[in-house]
Amino acid sequence: MDEDLKRFYELYTRRRSVRRFLDKEIEDEKLKRLFDVLRRAQSAANRQPWHFIVVRRRDHGELFSKVFTRGGFEGASVAIVACAEPGKAWVRKADSRNYAWVDVTIAITEMIGAATAEGIGTCWVAAIDPAEVKRLLCIPEEIEVVGIIAMGYPAEPLRREEKNRKPVEEIIHYGRW
Ligand SMILES: Cc1cc2nc3c(=O)[nH]c(=O)nc-3n(C[C@H](O)[C@H](O)[C@H](O)COP(=O)(O)O)c2cc1C
């Protein structure tokens, strides 16, 4: 395996959920690169049914401390509030499944990979109060809050880690269930 490829796969061994952060801002140019990754993400029928609200602790301190309902993320530098717009999303005919949340999740996952490569720690936070977040951030009625991504420089460096995961034989099925 060549070195580039090795580094690529190694990235996925380094990512973990980070809940403790250094008191250090994420640089604007890094954020810009991450936002470009969000923008380029794939989506069903290329509908891009997403919006991302950036709440920086340095600019919106009070809002920042309120959006994470359960606390524990006050040390992060940036919160990305990931929003879906189901009215703009592709809908599968066979079962009327709306793909808005899938598309938002794909974009965020891509961004988390890039953030890991940048040395930035992330945590996906689903345990929030979406109605309260909508009220605080003036999010329109038809928009849904999928989750909030806490981001910042990790208090402990990101490194290779073996996690508690199911074995591959348990989750990969060849040919049939
Ligand atoms: C959709 C989703 C929602 C999550 N919500 C929360 C959350 O509300 N609070 C939290 O502390 N971690 C949350 N996490 C982090 C998971 O607990 C974590 O990904 C899982 O335990 C595996 O650990 P790892 O990310 O370090 O590999 C969430 C992760 C995902 C993917």
* Residue among 123, 133, 146 whose CB has most ligand 1 atoms within 8 A, to mutate: 123
Calculate the alpha carbon distances from 68 to 9, 65, 72, 130, 156 in Å.
Answer: 32, 6, 8, 10, 22
Looking at domain 17-153, which of 3.40.50.150, 3.40.50.620, 3.40.50.10470, 3.40.109.10 is its CATH number?
3.40.109.10
Cα 50 to the chain's mean position, in Å?
12
* Domain residue extents for the chain: 17-153
- The residue type found at 64 is F
Per-residue confidence (pLDDT) for residue 66, from 0 to 100: 92
Res 167 pLDDT > 90: yes
For ligand 1, atom 30, the nearest C-alpha belongs to 124
Strand partners, 82: 52, 147
Distance between CA atoms of residues 50 and 135, nearest Å? 18
Per-residue confidence (pLDDT) for residue 157, from 0 to 100: 87
pLDDT in tens, 12-24: 999 999 999 999 9
The length of the chain, given as a count of residues: 177
Using alpha carbons, select from 14, 25, 47 the residue that is nearest to residue 114: 14
pLDDT in tens, 106-143: 999 999 999 999 999 999 999 999 999 999 999 999 99
Cβ neighbours of 147 (radius 10 Å): 21
The percentage of residues in the chain with a pLDDT greater than 90, rounded to a whole number, is: 90
Q: Which is the closest atom of ligand 1 to the Cα of 127?
A: 8
pLDDT in tens, 60-105: 988 998 998 877 898 999 999 999 999 999 999 999 999 999 999 9
Between the CA of 19 and the centroid of ligand 1 the distance, in Å, is: 10
- Per-residue exposure over 92-123, b if at least 16 CB sit within 10 Å of its own CB, e if not: eeeeeebbbbbbbbbbbebbbbbbbbbebbbb
Using alpha carbons, select from 79, 84, 60 the residue that is nearest to residue 68: 79
Is the pTM value of this prediction over 0.85?
yes
Res 37 pLDDT > 80: yes
For ligand 1, atom 9, the nearest C-alpha belongs to 125
pLDDT in tens, 139-157: 999 999 999 999 999 999 8
